[in-house]
Amino acid sequence: MPTLPTLLITMGDAAGIGPELLARAWLTPELHTLCQPLLVGSVARLRASLSGMGAAVEVRQLGSVADAHWSKTSPTTPLECWEPAGAPDVAEVIWGRPDARAGQAAHDYLVAAIDVCLARTAHGIVTAPLHKGSLHAAKLPYPGHTEILAERTGTQRFAMMLYGAGVGVAHVTLHLALRDVFTHLSTERIYETIELVAETMERIDGRPARIGVFGLNPHAGDGGLFGDEEQRLIAPAVVAARKAGIEVTGPWPSDTLFGRARRGEFNGLVALYHDQGHIGMKLLAGYQAVNLSLGLPILRTSVAHGTAFDIAGQFHADPTSLLEAVRVAARLARTCPPPGHPLT
């Protein structure tokens, strides 16, 4: 096995910018200093992306992970791409349009990569974006990567975190209509998310986390004037986490926490719903933001943006978030791999 961590980088939706991101990342020297990369996806789409970019680099199709040329890759060597058997042919999908073939293929690339990591043949997965419309067109009932990862690994206690600029924000609820958030919040789920943030930020920073928890209502309820979820659901979770030895405070008004985190008061945040965490983090970190899956038995990071169907096939996508996701995954794999992971 190579001395650098081995990372499987999945293409995501072949109709989006994923194929181009993988190709651009391969052509970046830094990628090969961070990890031993193996691309997982469509050879045809990689070739189309390289052609559209004007890059004269070959693509080498692998029959399995075992065929990879570990320790020998560079921007000038052929792209190593494993196209899992049985994944749909996506060579003819139209750039920028949802397609059932692309949705099924994105699912199959991810599942194949998960199984390799569960078998401890690679250190982790870095994912390019998939498209929920394509997944649904393929009759796959998942709102995103996180739910597929949790189901395939049999994980019940999990959360999604965005990380960037030294701050991580995890979400108690994720891909839900806003009207459904209230019915999916519980003290137990909030407590679990606080725990996951504490564990992850200690792995990343090498010291105990300092966590702030968002309130749900304006002014964090203002003492019950604007809702009682802060007193009824959130505060009990914070109290329980503090009793367990976690440095956590809250619930705090939502409009204060990212500013306080930027000033260094917190390095971990717990948001109650998707946009509460995403908007602030993307303003704070921009393309440096990375998506991490917490609580899994395997390591997974991802870009913190979507498939960008509006520019797919135009070949001017920015690979910054993908490279940052590789950087974070490589650091976690080298310094503190998941429990029981033999690839150290």
Place of tokens 């030294």: 166
Taking CA atoms, 234 is separated from 32, 174, 187, 237, 238, in Å, by 44, 17, 6, 5, 6
Say what the pLDDT of residue 152 is. Answer: 97
Say what the pLDDT of residue 266 is. Answer: 97
**pLDDT tens column, 5-14:** 999 999 999 9
The closest alpha carbon to 321, from 312, 333, 313, 329, belongs to 329
Strand partners, 125: 8, 300
Distance CA 248, CA 211 (A): 5
Say what the pLDDT of residue 343 is. Answer: 47
Say what the pLDDT of residue 335 is. Answer: 64
**pLDDT tens column, 78-87:** 999 999 999 9
Taking CA atoms, 92 is separated from 41, 132, 198, in Å, by 14, 20, 45
The answer for 103, left when phi > 0, alpha when psi is -120 to 50, beta otherwise, is alpha
For the entire predicted model, the pTM comes to: 0.90
Say what the pLDDT of residue 307 is. Answer: 97
Backbone angles phi, psi at 313, to 5 degrees: 85, 0
Taking CA atoms, 95 is separated from 41, 54, 91, 177, 336, in Å, by 16, 18, 10, 28, 39
Say what the pLDDT of residue 337 is. Answer: 54
Distance CA 33, CA 288 (A): 19
Share of the chain above pLDDT 90, in %: 84
Pairing type for strands 59-62 and 79-82 reads parallel
Ranges in the chain, pLDDT < 70: 1-2, 335-344
Say what the pLDDT of residue 278 is. Answer: 93
